[in-house]
Amino acid sequence: MNFLKTDHEIIVIGVSTGGFKALEVILSKLPEGFNLSVIIVQHRKKDPDDFFIDYMNKKTSLHIKEAEDKESIKPGVGYIAPPEYHLLVEMDHTLSLSVDPPLKYARPSIDMLFETAAEAYESKVAGVILTGANDDGSKGLKKIRKYGGMAIIQDPVTAEAPMMPKNAIKIAGADHILSLANIGKFLGRLS
């Protein structure tokens, strides 16, 4: 990790199988006063008692919430895609929800989040691919890099399901390949 750009405004994270643990590790490493927006697509089932959101709020200084349609993106907030909705970033830096058909069998789709974030924020976005058992996010991460953003991928050796990080490295390439604990520390330094 030589030169660290500090002009990022948002971090987009894509995670699937093993994601609960991975997000807990990363989010717990973010420092008090972390002032970037974090937008997360986690392939997950509907959670009627909001356990996932409540639990993550106890593990991080970020305010974690389920994303809402037409909501403005604010610093210091972690937005989680609701189950069964695609989460998109609009050009006016708001979020939108979509019930378009699943992409690669997934709704929410990591690729859709990453591609729209790249278009709206260009070089000011850092994309993170974590553990998962498919290739969702690889195409979107490639677009983030094309627009000048940063690509961070979990070291597949440390992933509960290494297929998603391996595919991201192969298809998009990476600026940084890090362990979970080191991803959290690295992101903390972007703020």
Catalogue the active-site residues.
Answer: 16, 43, 136
Which of 7, 38, 33 is CA-nearest to residue 183? Answer: 38
Which of 139, 126, 111, 138 is CA-nearest to residue 175? Answer: 126
Q: How many C-beta neighbours within 10 Å does residue 143 have?
A: 19
Q: Give CA–CA dist 122/127, Å, rounded.
A: 11
